[in-house]
C-alpha cells in the first residue's frame, strides 16, 4: 500500500502475496522444508538485484550477497531531512533494536536505505545514526539513485507516481527471511514489541524459545484505552515518557523530554502549535523549540499531521496520566511516612 508521508494513520500489519504463495507451495509440495527451499529460490539472486551500496561507515557492500542472503532482515527507506515520519520510524526501530538486544547484527539485521543519495552521503548518514544512538548491527546505506529505486520496486515500497517527490515516499517498511522466502510489510506505527516478536520469532519459524514463559493466570486485566493514549503509544512513546520510572527502568538516552506535567509548564497556545506544526516553529527559530532541539541531540520533533481533535485527545491523556502518577507518588510518600513513624 502506498501512502503519502503526510497521512499519518496507523495501519495493521498486512500479510501480502508472498505469504499466500508460500502457503500454496506448502500445499502442493508437501512440507515446510520444500517451502523454505522454494521460497528462497523464488526470491533469491535472480529476483533481488545485487547492486552496490555504501554503509554509513564507508564500506561498500552488495545488496543481495552481503545484506540479505540467508538472513532475517528489516528494511526501510528514509531521508535524513524528512520533516515528518522518517524520524518516528527510526525511533520506533530503535526501540525494536533495544528489545532484540545483541541479536541485531547476529541473527537479525536492520537496514535503512536513503532515497536521497545526493544529500545523504555516508558522513550524513553516520551523523544521523549517531543522533538516534543506534547500536551495532543496524546499517544506514546510500548508493546510486537508479539502484535504490530498483530496490524499492523489488521490495514493493515504491510509489508509482510520476515525478515522485521525497515527501510522497512510502512509509511502510518490510521485514523478511530471504532463505525461507517469507516477507511482509509493516507500519512505522506498529507496537515495538509486536515488531520485535515478528522479526525475532515469527521469521525464525519460532525456533528460538522466548526468554520468559508467561502464564495466562498472570495476564493483566484488559482495560479501555482512550484515543489520546492510543495516539501517545503509536506516535509519541518512541521518544517520550510521562513520568520516568525510577532506577534501571529509566531511559537515560531518550530522544525527547519527559512529558509529566507539560500542560502546566508550557503555554497552552504554544504547546498546541508545537504539536501541530513543529517543523514551521523550528524554521522560524522559536526560542523554546530551538532549546529543545539542542538539548535532545538535534533530533527534530516530526510533524505528525495531528488535527485539532487529535491534539486535544493527546493533551487530555497527558493531563490524566500526570494526575494518576502524581497521585501514586503521593500515596507512596504517605505510606513511607506512616512506616517511618
Kindly give, in sequence order, each residue whose CB lies less than 8 Å from that of residue 49, ignoring residues fewer than 6 positions away.
63, 64, 147, 150, 151, 154
Tell which residue, 143, 127, 136, 116, has the closest CA to residue 60. 143
Radius of gyration of the chain (CA): 22
Tell which residue, 89, 111, 83, 133, has the closest CA to residue 234. 89
Least confident of 67-81, 116-130, 140-154, 316-330: 316-330
Residue 264, pLDDT above cutoff 50: yes
pLDDT at 245: 54
What the block records as the C-alpha cell of 300 is 527534530
Which residue in the block uniquely carries the three cell numbers 507539560?
Answer: 262
Give whole-number Cα distances, 311 to 5, 167, 250, 254, 315, in Å.
Answer: 19, 23, 26, 22, 6
Dihedral of CA 267/273/276/281: which sign?
negative
Range from 13-17, 139-143, 199-203, 230-234 that averages highest in pLDDT: 139-143
Q: How confident is the model at residue 86 (pLDDT cuts 50, 70, 90)?
A: confident
Q: pLDDT of 127-154, one tens digit each?
A: 999 999 898 999 999 999 999 999 999 9
Beta bridge partners of 112: 76, 140
Q: How confident is the model at residue 45 (pLDDT cuts 50, 70, 90)?
A: confident
- Report the pLDDT averaged over residues 259-283: 93
CATH code linked to domain 17-204 = 3.40.30.10
Tell which residue, 71, 74, 49, has the closest CA to residue 143. 49
| CATH entry 1.10.760.10 includes domain 227-340 | yes
Starting at the edge strand that comes first in sequence, how are the strands of the sheet with 138-142 ordered? 60-62, 52-55, 138-142, 109-114, 72-78, 173-177, 182-186
Residue 29, pLDDT above cutoff 50: no
Q: How many helices (H) and strands (E) does the chain have?
A: 12, 7
CA–CA distance, 77 with 258 (Å, rounded to integer): 29
pLDDT at 30: 43
Residue 174, pLDDT above cutoff 60: yes
pLDDT at 302: 86
Beta bridge partners of 110: 74, 138
Dihedral of CA 175/201/241/134: which sign?
negative
CA–CA distance, 159 with 88 (Å, rounded to integer): 20
Residue 216, pLDDT above cutoff 80: no
> Would you say the CATH fold of 227-340 matches that of 17-204?
no
Which residue in the block uniquely carries the three cell numbers 503519502?
Answer: 4
Q: Are 108 and 137 in contact (CB under 8 A)?
A: yes
Q: Where are the domains of the chain?
A: 17-204, 227-340
What the block records as the C-alpha cell of 158 is 515504491
Residue 27, pLDDT above cutoff 80: no
Specify the higher pLDDT residue, 181 or 8.
181
pTM for this prediction: 0.70
- Report the pLDDT averaged over residues 297-306: 86
Q: What is the DSSP letter of 294?
A: H
pLDDT at 41: 65
Least confident of 23-27, 269-273, 279-283, 320-324: 23-27
Least confident of 46-50, 76-80, 151-155, 231-235: 231-235
CA–CA distance, 101 with 104 (Å, rounded to integer): 6
Q: How confident is the model at residue 39 (pLDDT cuts 50, 70, 90)?
A: low
- Report the pLDDT averaged over residues 117-123: 96
Amino acid at each position: 500500500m502506498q501512502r503519502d508521508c503526510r497521512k499519518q494513520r496507523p495501519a495493521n500489519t498486512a500479510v501480502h502475496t508472498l505469504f499466500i504463495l508460500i502457503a500454496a507451495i506448502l500445499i502442493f509440495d508437501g512440507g515446510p522444508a520444500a517451502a523454505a527451499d522454494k521460497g528462497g529460490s523464488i526470491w533469491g539472486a535472480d529476483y533481488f538485484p545485487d547492486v552496490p551500496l555504501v554503509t554509513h561507515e564507508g564500506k561498500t557492500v552488495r545488496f543481495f550477497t552481503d545484506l540479505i542472503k540467508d538472513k532475517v532482515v528489516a528494511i526501510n527507506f528514509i531521508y535524513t531531512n524528512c520533516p515528518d515520519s522518517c524520524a518516528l520510524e527510526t525511533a520506533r526501530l530503535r526501540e525494536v533494536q533495544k528489545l532484540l538486544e545483541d541479536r541485531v547484527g547476529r541473527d537479525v539485521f536492520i537496514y535503512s536505505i536513503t532515497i536521497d543519495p545526493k544529500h545523504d552521503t555516508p558522513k550524513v548518514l553516520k551523523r544521523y545514526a549517531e543522533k538516534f544512538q543506534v547500536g551495532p548491527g543496524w546499517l544506514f546505506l546510500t548508493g546510486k539513485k537508479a539502484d535504490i529505486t530498483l530496490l524499492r520496486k523489488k521490495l514493493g515500497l515504491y510509489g508509482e507516481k510520476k515525478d515522485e517527490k521525497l515527501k510522497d515516499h512510502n512509509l511502510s517498511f518490510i521485514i523478511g527471511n530471504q532463505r525461507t522466502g517469507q516477507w511482509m510489510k509493516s507500519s512505522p506505527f506498529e507496537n515495538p514489541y509486536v515488531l520485535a516478536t515478528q522479526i525475532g520469532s515469527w521469521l525464525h519459524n519460532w525456533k528460538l524459545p522466548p526468554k520468559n514463559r508467561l502464564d495466562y493466570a498472570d495476564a493483566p486485566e484488559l482495560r479501555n484505552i482512550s484515543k489520546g493514549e492510543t495516539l501517545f503509544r503509536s506516535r509519541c512513546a518512541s521518544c517520550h515518557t510521562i513520568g520516568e520510572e525510577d532506577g534501571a527502568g529509566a531511559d537515560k538516552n531518550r530522544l525527547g523530554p519527559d512529558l509529566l506535567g507539560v500542560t502546566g509548564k508550557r503555554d497552552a497556545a504554544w504547546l498546541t502549535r508545537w504539536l501541530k506544526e513543529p517543523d514551521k516553529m523550528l524554521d522560524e527559530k522559536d526560542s523554546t523549540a530551538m532549546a529543545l532541539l539542542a538539548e535532545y541531540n538535534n533530533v527534530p520533533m516530526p510533524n505528525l499531521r495531528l488535527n485539532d481533535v487529535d491534539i486535544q485527545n493527546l493533551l487530555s491523556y497527558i493531563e490524566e496520566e500526570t494526575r494518576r502518577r502524581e497521585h501514586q507518588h503521593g500515596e507512596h510518600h504517605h505510606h513511607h511516612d506512616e512506616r517511618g513513624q
